[in-house]
Amino acid sequence: MRTFQFSDAKSHKFWNIDVEGDRFTVTYGKVGTAGQSQTKAFASAEKAQAEADKLIREKTGKGYVETTPGAAASPEEAFERAIAADPHDLTAWSAYADYLSEQGDPRGEFMQVQRALESEGVPAADRKKLVAREKAILKAHEKEWVGDWPELFPEPAGTEGRGQVNHTGGRRYEFKRGLLTTANFGELNVAAARAFVRSPQTRFVRELFIGDTPYDDTFEPGPDVPEDVDQSEAAYHVLLRWAGLRRIRRFQLGWLADEVYGDFCHFQCHLSGDFAYDFVKQMPDAEEVLLFAHVRDAKNLVKLPMPRLRVLQLYHGSSYPLQDLAKNASLTSLTHLLCHPHAIEAEHPFIRIGHLRAVCRSEHLKSLTHLRLRLTDFGDAGAREIVDSGILKRLKVLDLRHGCMTDEGAKLLAACPDLRNLERLDLSRNALTKAGEEALRATKVPVDLAYPHTDAVGEDAGEMSEYLFQGDYE
């Protein structure tokens, strides 16, 4: 049986065909469902195979990508499949490097050099030689190993100007252990997306960063871009058809203005997050999903099966269905849940006491060690929930910046012996006075207490407190 899949912004479906003698059976439907089946008989086995081949050509012409599992055609393909299955397996990388070196392929030496540079024990003199050799190999082969897609979009923004950076430090791509593993689209346009999708060099990409999508009215229409599409979104439709999405382990949408687990946030996000779900649903092995965009409805996203997910960072959104996330039985590996909503624009904050309670008492989020919930109104009630739930027994970092906790909540936390497990507590921009601050500092837990406010809290507070507007305001 041969299997195929098709994905774009509107659908994620499969089509399989199984030829047996003078007949074949076609099964099709949405990915994740059993689908429907149809069987057709022919005058001969040759006729059945010919018709099957014709259907396959039609499907691939429409954008379907073959996903048929099978034996490796060569040792090189076997090594590549092993790395794809587990990119953290250093044995597979080393074996592949040795094999390529034996074949006289310069990629083998490049892999060995970069692997050696990963070791902290390399003497300075040897490291200098390795760096020089790394540069020399890249100078000779970089264009061949990367393809032409990086030449088709503007340089990604750096730390100057808008202050917007990303995890690649502004570089368009990165090699890790000798292979092209990271693609960074500072601005994703249709030409670059098309070149990327068709490039065989991108088959090892496991980290995908998209900073922005410019208005693009220069592209030629085609089957990869729907008619009447918003011209600032056309490139998304192209990239959503890339078969390599299912191999992505680390995905970022939108500009990041801090370190990945830092605490500063650039509050001028203009990026729509409407396509976030369409990307992530095609990444079953994702380990980090970092969204810095206006996600208006995250309910389906947080319900996705993501058994490898360790880091989920949701900034600038107006949808935080943490009750649904807490019920997701696949999220047993999640260690970091990092949320900083859009500035308040509704009758109440986007994260409330029910969201906190669901996370703290989830039977699935047992690996959670870093919890960041900002712009909330649960205040002292939240402190009580955190203590009573026992989540402090496993947390290493608790960040409740931009809240309304008072001295009462601070003293509740300080009195809990489990608070000493924390490596960092952030209660900046809460309603603490000197008494609450002193109680927390007495615990010897590293704590951030900058910029306390005196905004009114509770049901009688009247208008929304100013601290709730300290998110993205665009």
DSSP 174-197: EEETTEEEEEEESS--HHHHHHHH
In the structure encoding, which two tokens stand for residue 403, read together?
A: 């809240």
Q: Is the pLDDT of residue 163 over 80?
A: no
Which position has the higher pLDDT, 20 or 60? 20
Using 50, 70 and 90 to split pLDDT, how confident is the model at 170? Answer: low
Taking the C-alpha atoms of residue 349 and residue 102, their distance in angstroms, rounded to an integer, is: 61
Contact yes or no for 399/336 (Cβ under 8 A): no
Torsion of CA 150, 155, 156, 160, to 10 degrees: 160
Selection from 324, 327, 331, 267 nearest residue 297 by Cα: 324
Q: With H, G, I as helix, E, B as strand and everything else as coil, classify residue 49.
A: helix
With a CB cutoff of 8 Å and minimum separation 6, the contacts of 267 are 343, 470, 471, 472, 473, 474
CATH superfamily of 2-66: WGR domain (2.20.140.10)
Provide the 3-class DSSP secondary structure of residue 472.
strand
Q: What gap in Å lies between CA 249 and CA 395, rounded to an integer?
A: 24
Backbone φ, ψ for residue 145 (5° rounding): -85, -10
What does each C-alpha distance from 379 to 349, 408, 410 come to in angstroms? Answer: 12, 9, 9
pLDDT at residue 445 greater than cutoff 90:
yes
154-168: average pLDDT? 48
Indicate if the pLDDT at residue 462 is higher than 70. Answer: no
Which of 137-141, 173-177, 445-449, 460-464 is least confident? 460-464
* pLDDT at residue 441, rounded to an integer: 97
Average pLDDT over residues 108-119: 95
> Mean pLDDT for the chain?
88
**Cα dihedral across residues 40, 42, 44, 50: positive or negative:** negative
pLDDT > 70 fraction of the chain, expressed in percent and rounded: 89
Length of the chain as a residue count: 474
What DSSP assignment string belongs to 162-179? TT-B-TTTT-SEEEETTE
Q: Which two tokens stand for residue 230?
A: 């918003």
Q: Which of 140, 57, 157 is nearest to 105 (CA)?
A: 140
SS3 assignment, position 287:
coil
The residues spanned by each domain of the chain are 2-66, 79-140, 146-469
Contact indicator for 188, 194 with CB cutoff of 8 Å: no
Looking up tokens 């041969």 gives 2
CB-based contact 245:219 (threshold 8 Å): no
The fold adopted by the segment(s) 146-469 is 3.80.10
Closest CA to 109 of 61, 145, 63: 145
Looking at the DSSP bridge assignments, the partners of residue 4 are 15, 66
Which pLDDT score is estimated for 468? 80
Closest C-alpha among 224, 183, 191, 210 to residue 279: 210
Of the candidate ranges 290-304, 433-447, 451-465, the one whose mean pLDDT is the lowest: 451-465
Q: Hey, how many other C-beta atoms are within 10 angstroms of the C-beta on 138?
A: 16
For residue range 84-112, what is the model confidence (pLDDT) as tens digits?
888 888 998 999 999 999 999 999 999 99
